[in-house]
Amino acid sequence: MKQKFTILFDLDGTLVDTAPDLMLAHNYVMKKFGYPTKSTEDIRSLVGQGAGALIGRSIWGQAKKEFSRVKDENIKDEMTKEFINFYGKNILNKSTLINGVKKFLIWCKKENISMAVCTNKTEHLAVDLLKKIKIYNFFEYVAGHNTFEYCKPDPRHLASIIEILDGDINKSLMIGDSESDANAAKNAGVPMILLQDGYTEKNVNQIYHNHLVKDFVNIEKIVLKYL
């Protein structure tokens, strides 16, 4: 029997504001390897030119840009491992749920809506964060960038999750904050709810969406239109 409805959620910048802890990991690695550290404002100016968005798709994206300047592949690999290791141990120091998330997840459960996380974060880190911030049990499935052989913006990342949940692509929604979420949703034929201050350097009018929201407060009014 197919689920009544399915909602897929991005994680970083959508369910959880992870920027502070990602920044701590970024600066830890840069300092350890002799590179200059950056503030959130520094990163904002690099990718957003003072826009109200948080830092680019993720601090990890900026870290990779920094790593790419290192010529020695062994050092690059070591920096990447240090980043993931430090972040994994400090995944919930300053990260917080986006406003209204918990209340909305509770509402979805009451409405018998099937929920899953579709993130480009490494799967084990995504699961760990969801457990520590105490919303893991709301979701029937969590797919990271390494769960399948493809990830967002590839629409198969969304479609595969919906199929695993025995859902219907025509009875699904995507909630995210960046163009990777939006492009995956668009190409999968899934309506998109976009958070307006996401982890992206693009303006909201450059990103595909059917609905634009500030946070999760009263977002159920939008979802009800699809049920």
Please list the active-site residues: 10
Q: Which of 61, 167, 36 is nearest to 114 (CA)?
A: 167
* Alpha carbon 169 to its chain's center: 20
DSSP 118-168: E-SS-HHHHHHHHHHTT-GGG-SEEE-TTTSS--TTSTHHHHHHHHHTT--
Omega before residue 153 within 30° of 0, cis: yes
Asked if 117 contacts 145 with a C-beta cutoff of 8 angstroms, the reply is no
175 DSSP assignment: E
Burial 162-185 (b: 16+ CB within 10 A, else e): beebebeeebbbbbbbbbbbbbbb
